Structure 1
């Protein structure tokens, strides 16, 4: 059976795997964004705090994904839990770093003007600083999403959902019927979905960023 015939005969299961893959990645990006932005807000005014937060989130990326899954499986078991925690941890660095950079580069006269019209500290943060930092935060989310699309495939090692199961099954059965088709289908699926998600983030950026900030 050639590759196109394989896809045509199994398109429903491929769609399910693709949905699970994208769903897991997007949910992890949302969680990582909440955590990353909170960390960035907490430390961006402190050079030492910002350096520590960036260093810690960078250190996570030095851990091979297989090793991190292996460390979490004895604690969390197999399935969704170790997959989600691993992906969230790997997604933190771009979001934390870009949040800190975005908030730190807001012009001081803008903040002074906001305080001058009676805004509270919380109001300045939520209505001025975070809005101006949004393009940088979104860029961090975009980078993290692209990373997680590939790392999520390795979640199959921990019995996580998604296209990684096709890739692992295909590689584990090389030489058998449709083994290569399975591996190629999973790999191509990850690439296509990553490109589609990137386009979605570009569209979100255009819709949620004012022309003045984009310019």
Structure 2
């Protein structure tokens, strides 16, 4: 195992960086999309129910099957990996964003409107900051989930550590096959832990002490 790691150290580091970069960029995209959608639906109970239903149903779709379906229109490579990772990343964040925005005390919103703030300013300066702890909790859940989804995306020749996993599984029983799988799996776990620690730090920087959960 040690010889395998030493001999492919640079390749492992590069694949790990690709994996981490893919997940982080998709998380940023997913957070923006989820917050926009939540801001459009959170005032309507019917739309909230629809958004929650979409989130629940979307999470039941097997990531491996979705990647396979996307190969036909988009081919192999980065694009299907980005679509799949961003799709699954959006779902938990959307649910939490809807919960966070709809759970704000109406009296707080009315007070902001009463001092002359527009609906958009109220959303940006009052509601979103108050909902941010709940939204960030969804981002943390999403980050852990899609770290594994990004590994599965290697089936479509996407970037990241999943290549080690699929390479090892394709020649299971051959030389270094087990080492390749273990390297990919352990690498994904380590990256997930690092990203979670970074998100905890982000929470400490962006959430006022008085509303931390």
Same-fold status (TM-score > 0.5): yes
What is the alpha-carbon distance in structure 2 between the residues aligned to residue 111 and residue 57 of structure 1? 27
> What secondary structure, in the 3-state scheme, does the structure 2 residue paired with 1:160 have?
coil
Match 2:170 to one of 147, 151, 172 = 172
Which one of the candidate residues 90, 106, 113 is aligned to 1:92? 90
| SS of equivalent to 2:71 | helix
Question: Which structure 1 residue ranges, 4+ long, deviate > 6 Å from structure 2?
Answer: none
Deviation at residue 7 of structure 1 after TM alignment: 1.2
Q: CA deviation at 1:121?
A: 0.7
Partner of 1:107: 105
Structure 1 residues 5-14 or 41-50, which shifts more?
Answer: 5-14
TM-score, scaled relative to structure 2: 0.97
- Aligned equivalents of 1:110 and 1:78: distance in 2? 49
Q: What is the RMSD computed on CA atoms of the aligned residues?
A: 1.0
Using the TM superposition, give the Cα deviation of residue 150 of structure 1 relative to its aligned residue in structure 2, in angstroms. 0.5
1:119 is the counterpart of 2:114: no
Find the aligned partners of 1:67 and 1:179 in 2 and give their Cα distance: 24
Q: 1:5: how far off?
A: 2.4
**How many residues in Structure 1 have an aligned counterpart in Structure 2?**
213
In the alignment, the residues of structure 2 paired with residue 22 and residue 187 of structure 1 have an alpha-carbon distance, to the nearest angstrom, of 14
Give the drift of 1:114.
1.1
Any gaps of 5 or more consecutive residues in structure 2?
none
Indicate which of 179, 182, 186 corresponds to 2:180.
182
Please tell me whether residue 12 in structure 1 is matched to residue 22 in structure 2. Answer: no
Q: Which deviates more, 152-161 or 105-114?
A: 105-114
Q: How many Å separate the matches in 2 of 1:138 and 1:34?
A: 12
Q: List gaps (5 residues or longer) in structure 1.
A: none
Alignment equivalent of 2:68, drawn from 51, 70, 93:
70
TM norm structure 1: 0.96
Secondary structure class of the residue paired with 1:139: helix
Cα offsets for 1:44-80 (capped at 9, x unmatched):
0111101111211221211111111111110111111
Question: 1:134-161 CA distances to partner (integer Å, 9 max, x unpaired)?
Answer: 0111111111110000111111111100
What's the offset of the Cα at 1:100? 0.7
CA deviation after TM superposition for structure 1 residue 102, in Å: 0.5
Deviations 1:85-129 (A, max 9, x none): 111111122111111111111112221221122111110000000
